[in-house]
Chain A
């Protein structure tokens, strides 16, 4: 299973095995990683699963969609590699992915 490293804003790391086909958001929420709220459960309806993709992985995780981009525009502390983690689907190609979590989702 692909391993994903989630780094909280305080630096604490969580290395989680996430099944292919799940989203990066689900990997965090289902394993109690704090810092991703994902209130809507992955429906791209709430913008509370904001993450920063490690720049080395930005190309592999792909571009955000128009809807996602519009929602990210309202996120706090937007950065060039900001994504909504409910919109990043885990594949074997993302084994080793590193994402950082913002200090707050609200």
Chain B
């Protein structure tokens, strides 16, 4: 595809930033314009609910690269700018205000939007969401010891915020509509472990409970539950998930189905338009189906693939999906997707706070949740990438280091 001279990347998050930098690393000499709605150059989102919220990581370390690095690589970075229309026939992207940018290849890296709480009072002062650095900058000044925080949603964001809040001395209640935390992403066993850890740190949980209304006059005063009870509070953090930002793609007539649909090369239904990151529904190589991934791995891998395709380079090797979450002194590392597992094998001891839960289907390893167990994470990831089957008894054999077990399974 040496005829590509102008690349326009819509969205300057981790995926868009990676695509731009990777294009230069692959020797692409054409024009690159990277456009983001936020005022900042590309930055890391994972620390937002961890060390950036706790104040342990300043903004300059949050940035993936200092702003000068883009100019040094001859990448035109437009921050605080919104693309409002794509003219596929003319191959132009139009910015708010009317400026048009012609492209030979367009990359949609529009990311996702937070799901707002669908209840009355959700717009009261004191009700926060956490998606951008700006969101955290607005939350941190009021995130103080003694404040009563209600976290709505016990997913990764909710639990990470709860952990930071307890560490800083806030009172925390977590509301969750499901019967257990992390219900969407892990097994009852691992959910139970994280529930116990948070309870031991003083977090109160209301499970199988839903917010019906946010009460308050000038600012939030309590969360009213569906069963009529009230949880008094000073702050609410809504962490009930994200939705892919597909508005531009939809308006342009691209195929969208819970995410912008792309092929293995990250190409949309228009061959001149690629899409990467949170906003896409892509083939999941190890699982023989399509899906949406909300992760750093997916952002980086999409950036690498799209850069290779545009620069006319070979397809990079694909990784198994991977994720991590830091809560208190627990490092949870996840490889693979456990959906559809028929067997769970535990290795290690939950009481010692270092263990791994392996998920198998018909003997084949689908996923691993590793808590303070990096060898099981990295070894498990490699096994998933190679489509390994493994005997449950081998996985739980603590008399052998995990690398040995991996090598035997891959032999």
Separation in Å of the A18 CB from the closest CB of chain B?
A: 12
Separation in Å of the A99 CB from the closest CB of chain B?
A: 19
Residues of chain A within 8 A (CB-CB) of B331 are 43-45, 67
Q: A residues 61-95 with Cβ under 8 Å of B? A: 67, 70-71, 73-74
Q: B residues 321-353 with Cβ under 8 Å of A? A: 322, 324, 326, 331, 333
Residues of chain A within 8 A (CB-CB) of B73 are 32
Secondary structure dominating the interface of A: loop
Interface 0/1 of A3-35, CB less than 8 Å to B = 000000000000000000010001001111010
Separation in Å of the A3 CB from the closest CB of chain B?
A: 17
Asked whether B382 lies within 8 Å of A32 as measured between CB atoms, the reply is: no
How far apart are the CA atoms of A47 and B333 in the complex, in Å?
Answer: 12
* Interface assignment of B296: CB less than 8 Å from any CB of chain A: yes
Residues of chain A within 8 A (CB-CB) of B326 are 43
Interface size on A, residues (CB 8 A): 22
Asked whether A31 lies within 8 Å of B403 as measured between CB atoms, the reply is: no
Residues of chain A within 8 A (CB-CB) of B69 are 30-32
Residues of chain A within 8 A (CB-CB) of B44 are 41
> Which of the residues B66, B72, B375 comes within 8 Å of A70, measured between beta carbons?
B375
Asked whether A67 lies within 8 Å of B374 as measured between CB atoms, the reply is: yes
Asked whether A22 lies within 8 Å of B21 as measured between CB atoms, the reply is: no
> Which of the residues B66, B317, B378 comes within 8 Å of A47, measured between beta carbons?
B378
How far apart are the CA atoms of A42 and B63 in the complex, in Å?
Answer: 12
Residues of chain A within 8 A (CB-CB) of B373 are 70
Interface 0/1 of B193-207, CB less than 8 Å to A = 000000000000000
Residues of chain B within 8 A (CB-CB) of A34 are 25
Asked whether B324 lies within 8 Å of A32 as measured between CB atoms, the reply is: no
Asked whether A30 lies within 8 Å of B65 as measured between CB atoms, the reply is: yes
* Interface assignment of B64: CB less than 8 Å from any CB of chain A: yes
Asked whether A71 lies within 8 Å of B374 as measured between CB atoms, the reply is: yes
Residues of chain B within 8 A (CB-CB) of A43 are 46-47, 324, 326, 331
How far apart are the CA atoms of A3 and B163 in the complex, in Å?
Answer: 37
